[in-house]
């Protein structure tokens, strides 16, 4: 029977590519989304992957959403904490709402989702938790103190939960993408985009599929000796 994978923010951008890659690797995939019904329905029609709408920043909503996934597909074996938003501005102009909304969606969601699958994984003696962090969680970024704090928090979360669950057959790892050619990034003015690409030694933006391949690797049964790690996929832009 196919292992079940849940991808949060799984219908658009990097999550879209991750969901498809896991499906193509033989997983039974559930794609979570938060609000864009039109995009989610188009994704479902395109891929045949079932979609589940719930707010990963809300613990009770997440609990109910995961229960629905497990009722339909079975226990979650692979969790990809991918959901994320940006609300960019410098700290001296940042409202509490811009801070809190990013922390809720990008960081609290990892607790909400992982907490609701980890006991089952421990009981079954197998699990894969993969957190999508960011290059900006490693090096910081002007105008992104909220986003960088959340993405850095995911790395600390990953290392701690990995230690707690390694003896139970569960691995917990993070991936830190650099600049990826999603619709959001490609909408940046061309002169700004050119400056970004000049900072990337391999000479190009990443593609969502580059990150998806990292997820498939870490999700595999054969990756059981890798835990508590951060896989940096940024074309050499930042080397830690």
Residues 202-234 have pLDDT tens digits of 999 999 999 999 999 999 999 999 999 999 999
User: For residue 238, is it within any domain?
Assistant: no
User: For residue 87, is it within any domain?
Assistant: yes
* Continuous segment of H or E residues that includes residue 210: helix 208-219
Identify the pLDDT of residue 185.
82
Q: Which residues are catalytic?
A: 147
Q: Do 23 and 215 meet the contact criterion of CB atoms below 8 Å apart? A: no
Q: Which structural domain range is residue 219 located in?
A: 4-233
- Name the nearest CA neighbour of 122 among 81, 91, 76, 85: 76
User: For residue 239, is it within any domain?
Assistant: no
Identify the pLDDT of residue 192.
86
pLDDT digits 0-9 by tens, 3-18: 999 999 999 999 999 9
Question: How many structural domains compose the chain?
Answer: 1
Q: What gap in Å lies between CA 30 and CA 76, rounded to an integer?
A: 9
Identify the pLDDT of residue 189.
86
- Name the nearest CA neighbour of 101 among 57, 35, 138, 135: 57
- Name the nearest CA neighbour of 232 among 160, 141, 136: 136
Q: What gap in Å lies between CA 120 and CA 159, rounded to an integer?
A: 20
Identify the pLDDT of residue 168.
98
Helix (H, G, I), strand (E, B) or coil at 110: helix
Q: What is the DSSP letter of 20?
A: H
Identify the pLDDT of residue 187.
79
Identify the pLDDT of residue 240.
77
* 104, two tokens: 């809720």
192 Cβ contact partners less than 8 Å away, ≥ 6 residues apart: none
Identify the pLDDT of residue 1.
81
226: domain CATH number is 3.40.50.720
Which residues in the chain land under pLDDT 70? Answer: none
* Continuous segment of H or E residues that includes residue 65: helix 59-73
- Burial environment of residue 219 by CB neighbours within 10 A (0 to 12, 13 to 18, 19 or more): buried
Q: How far apart, in Å, are the Cα atoms of 35 and each of 18, 29, 41, 178?
A: 19, 19, 11, 25
């Amino acid at each position: 029977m196919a292992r079940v994978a849940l991808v949060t923010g799984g219908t658009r951008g990097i999550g879209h590519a991750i969901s498809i890659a896991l499906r193509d690797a033989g997983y039974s995939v559930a794609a979570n989304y938060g609000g864009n019904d039109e995009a989610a329905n188009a994704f479902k029609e395109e891929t045949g992957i079932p979609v589940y709408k719930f707010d990963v920043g809300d613990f009770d909503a997440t609990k109910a959403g995961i229960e629905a996934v497990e009722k339909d597909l079975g226990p979650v074996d692979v969790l990809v904490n991918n959901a994320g938003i940006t609300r960019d501005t410098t700290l001296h102009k940042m409202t509490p709402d811009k801070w809190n909304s990013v922390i809720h969606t990008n960081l609290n969601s990892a607790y909400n989702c992982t907490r609701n699958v980890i006991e089952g994984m421990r009981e079954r003696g197998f699990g894969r938790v993969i957190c999508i962090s960011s290059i900006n969680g490693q090096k910081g970024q002007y105008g992104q103190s909220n986003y960088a704090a959340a993405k850095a928090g995911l790395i600390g979360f990953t290392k701690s939960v990995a230690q707690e669950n390694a003896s139970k057959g569960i691995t917990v790892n993070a991936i830190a993408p650099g600049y990826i050619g999603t619709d959001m990034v490609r909408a940046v003015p061309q002169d700004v985009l050119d400056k970004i690409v000049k900072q990337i030694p391999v000479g190009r933006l990443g593609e969502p599929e580059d990150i998806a391949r990292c997820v498939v690797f870490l999700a595999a049964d054969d990756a059981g000796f890798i835990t508590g790690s951060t896989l940096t996929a940024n074309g050499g832009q930042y080397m830690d």
